[in-house]
Chains A and B, each alone.
Chain A
Amino acid sequence: MSGKKSLGRFLTENAVVILFLLITIAAIPSSGLSIQYILQEMITRLGRNTFLVLALILPIYAGMGLNFGMTLGAMSGQLGLILAINFNVGGVEGLAFAALLGTPVSVLMGYICGSVLNKAKGREMVTGYMLAFFINGIYQLVILYMMGAIFPIRSPAILLSRGYGIRNTLNLEGVRQSLDNLLMLRLGGYALPLATFIVIAVLCAFVIWFKKTKLGQDMRAVGHDMTVAESAGVPVDRTRIIAIIISTVLACYGQIIFLQNMGNMATYNAHDQTSFFAVAAILVGGASVKKASIPNVFIGVILLHVLFVVTPRAGQNLFGSAMIGEYFRQFIGYGVIALSLVLYAWRARKDALRAREGLRRASIAAAPEGAAK
């Protein structure tokens, strides 16, 4: 009986991962794509997306849920890239330059975001989402009206023909794949952007190390129980803000890595779906609002993107229209988020039930001393 129970528990806990695995396995043959092609796509996309998804881990660790506010970081990164192009700094130096400029902006953005989220404890996710919309407005204002008008732009090529405002699409020629190509390893027909993977590995090492620091422990405490942490003297609000700042800065770097791989940038909406796809990926990888680990990130990026690669083809082959695959892709993104959140709520209720039983066992208790909090 308990074997059945634990199997059931395993299934519910990994429902999303299993579901995705099944869909993917089913879709691969009908796409008609070669395994080799899919593998190469995976390598490319892992390099492109993993950094962004890793940016989500710390806020989850600090109990703040999925950081939809990471979009703010993405915008900062784009700002950095625009300026790098403006000053015509190319290659890896261009990326470093963009990151350098993006850092203070994303720290400020993270600080703002964290402070706002502290006012909305328990509703961080939806607040972050709305905040991203708001900041998006400011971003548009700056890029569309102020650049060239208030802030001097040196390179007229990136300006709209009216003389101010940045063009809709920016060609990132100067920095295109400069990180990827820095150390490109060719192995049996595959191209492996080693430098990008080293950067990702360093970030993973940082996350692991960070969890062992005092600050990491404080984040964990805050994530588990804010009241207890507060009463033990942990500066709860500050800790939460730091978690968001780190996440925003990482999102800034992540977006730069993402865009250098893409090679061009939709100035006004490249960041629109950054948080959305990162969140979908980490959820597909089996993370929840409360728990996420580095393996979740990798599993998620791989599963989600295999699906993204194969569904348009599968759609074309099965229904004669690649658009179906496109729709499917959107549908999956949103569906995954909704499904994981629902599953999570459902599981949380079950866990609460279990926890309450634990509490009952634990306390053969007197009533609480009412207002003691």
Chain B
Amino acid sequence: MGQQGPILSVEHVSKEFYGNVVLNDVCFELKAGEILGLVGENGAGKTTLMRILFGMPVIAETGGYKGRICLDGQEVRFSSPFDALDSGIGMVHQEFSLIPGFTTTENIVLNRESMRPSILNDVFGDRMSVLDRPDMRKRAEAAIAKLGVKLDPDLLISEMPVGHKQFTEIAREITRTKTRILVLDEPTAVLTESEAEVLLAALRNIAKLGIAIIFISHRLREVVDVADRVVVLRDGLAIKDLPVAGVSVRDIASWMVGRTVAADAVAGGEGREFGDELLKVEGLWVDMPGETVRDVSFSVRKGEILGFGGLAGQGKLGIPNGIMGLYPAGGSVGLRGKGVPLDSPRAALEAGMAFVSEDRRGVGLLLDESLDWNIAFTAMQVQGAYLRPILGGLFKIRDEAGMRKLTEEYVGALDIKCTSPKQKAKELSGGNQQKICLAKAFAVKPDLLFVSEPTRGIDVGAKKLVLDTLHRYNREYGTTIVMVSSELEELRAICDRIAIVDEGRIAGILPPTAELPEFGLLMSGLAARNAREAVNA
């Protein structure tokens, strides 16, 4: 459909936040039914560009933008997202804007419910019409069918897995009859790989209906798979804009960071010597929905990095969540031979364990507070660090200088893009907020650090920094690390041993140097099944 003109053109758009230039003269065009992949490092300005396009009030509040945005050749300047919606731009937000106590159907048709007029209409207007629930359901089902996914129209949002929420949001956007452009900002960051596959297929279906899509992701593989064209943002400049055909993941990655990205260099497991046994877990079960742990026993020695891998939903995420007391759990956990209660996050923290959750939102940041506060917060709460006694110990005040130094250290180590340690957490880009979460856990200087999915939502370049930092902490401070990740490569890069979790149990533990097929065998559950058959035979 190359012959018609673009439905959207972004012309010379620039944006600065109080002197900090975030977008600089960005131009690109979008045609009907086209999927555009928008990539760039953390803080490159992707989200900001989409907020401009969608008329988000933050943009106007921070001084507006320069340049033009045209729909069908007409310049538009939205003052609110409602204007954008009216012009046919739909946006799927990162934080779901769904009502948890409503069903899928109710959310999909939210405020666009089907109605039957009632007698009170004449007096009190449309809002006294009665909802036509069967028709609402029919429309919701039609939207779900368009996506080509399976969703229960009557399930409450609060009871569905995250992937389904994502689909519900998308379904809602495409039921708007006007929607011509759909913006998705890191929609797959919260999805498992198989869910992401389904989503990509759904996007292709939507594009076939003539809706143009802007797709933002740090998983470059997906961009290459699904997009027709890719735009690369670097430091606010659109440095590349070209068809995806013939472009490789490696190419995109090097455009993004401005240098060639080396294959992961840190090598794990060089047959190191470790100290005494630090953590001993026996018969652990964890009731974490979707990630049930049934019976897991393992031990970690001091100074070791132990990895947990495995397919999504098999229970690897449940292990740290259970040990840290975030979900109901049972079994025995001993740290240095002393038992740790399983139902108290605070006791776990005080025992010397820290946790970077895979869910940065729930355990989250204090978004309205400054970065140094955020980083030092847990250390201050749990250990009383960064507090200075004054008046002979009568009061304690915050050690501002210490906090500043700490923050600067991590800003450097993790390459956090910010203007100063006093910047508010909410002003950082998504990926940089995650780096703050990591820094926060490091700052506690724990004996044992659990990290769950440490590189989700973090760009290709910074991934290595995060892994390097974990590695360096382990070597320099002797921090013992238990890392859970769905990316095997990442585990192999820094772990000394890798346990593969399958059906809530450890299927086997391998050295990082083991061959890929061996990992594959454990993950597929084949090993377990073979063993079972051997027993049965």
Contacts and interface: CB of A to CB of B under 8 A. Distances in A.
Interface stretch (B125-133, B382-390, B488-496): B125-133
B337 to A, nearest CB: 29
B206 interface: no
B111 A234 contact: yes
A363 B317 CA distance: 12
Contacts of A186: none
A233 B112 CA distance: 9
Interface in A26-44: none
Contact of A362 (B162, B192, B428): B162
9 contacts: A213-B118, A231-B97, A358-B158, A364-B359, A365-B361, A366-B186, A367-B360, A370-B427, A372-B47
Interface residues of A, number: 37
A204 B342 CA distance: 49
B185 interface: yes
Interface in B95-150: 95, 97-102, 106, 110-111, 113, 115, 118, 126-131
Contacts of A370: 367, 425-430, 433
Given A212-B131, A370-B433, A362 B160 contact: yes
By DSSP majority rule, is chain B's interface helix, strand, loop, or mixed? loop
A220 B51 CA distance: 29
A364 to B, nearest CB: 5
Interface stretch (A70-78, A109-117, A222-230, A298-306): A222-230
B280 to A, nearest CB: 25
Contacts of A357: 326-327
Given A363-B359, A372-B51, A217 B94 contact: no
A373 B186 CA distance: 17
B475 to A, nearest CB: 27
B252 to A, nearest CB: 20
Given A224-B101, A231-B81, A355 B126 contact: no
Contacts of A217: 106, 113, 131
By DSSP majority rule, is chain A's interface helix, strand, loop, or mixed? helix
A372 B433 CA distance: 13
Interface of B: 47, 51, 56, 58, 81-82, 85, 93-95, 97-102, 106, 110-111, 113, 115, 118, 126-131, 158-162, 165, 185-186, 189-190, 192, 288-291, 317, 321, 326-327, 357-365, 367, 425-431, 433-434, 437, 453, 456-457
B505 to A, nearest CB: 20
A232 B161 CA distance: 22
Given A233-B82, A234-B110, 6 more contacts: A221-B111, A229-B111, A361-B289, A362-B162, A369-B94, A372-B47
Given A366-B430, A369-B94, A213 B361 contact: no
Contacts of B127: 213-215, 218
A365 B358 contact: yes
A362 B192 CA distance: 12
A228 B97 contact: yes
Interface string A282-307: 00000000000000000000000000
Nearest to A239: B127
Contacts of B288: 360-361
B131 A359 contact: no
Nearest to A359: B362
A187 interface: no
A212 B130 contact: yes
Interface string A195-225: 0000000000000010011110110110011
Contact of B361 (A218, A359, A372): A359
B293 to A, nearest CB: 13
Interface string A223-254: 01101110111100000000000000000000
B99 A364 contact: no
B130 A372 contact: no
B113 A214 contact: yes
Given A213-B127, A368-B361, A370-B425, A218 B111 contact: yes
Contacts of B457: 366-367
Contacts of B110: 221, 228-229, 232, 234
Contacts of A22: none
A371 interface: yes
Contacts of A372: 47, 51, 56, 58, 93-95
Contacts of B453: 364
B358 A364 contact: yes
B179 to A, nearest CB: 14
B362 A364 contact: no
A215 B125 CA distance: 10
Nearest to B186: A366
A356 interface: yes
Given A359-B361, A366-B457, A213 B131 contact: yes
B322 to A, nearest CB: 12
Contacts of A214: 113, 115, 126-131
Given A234-B111, A361-B289, A369 B359 contact: no
Contact of B128 (A213, A229, A360): A213
A366 B219 CA distance: 13
A364 B317 contact: yes
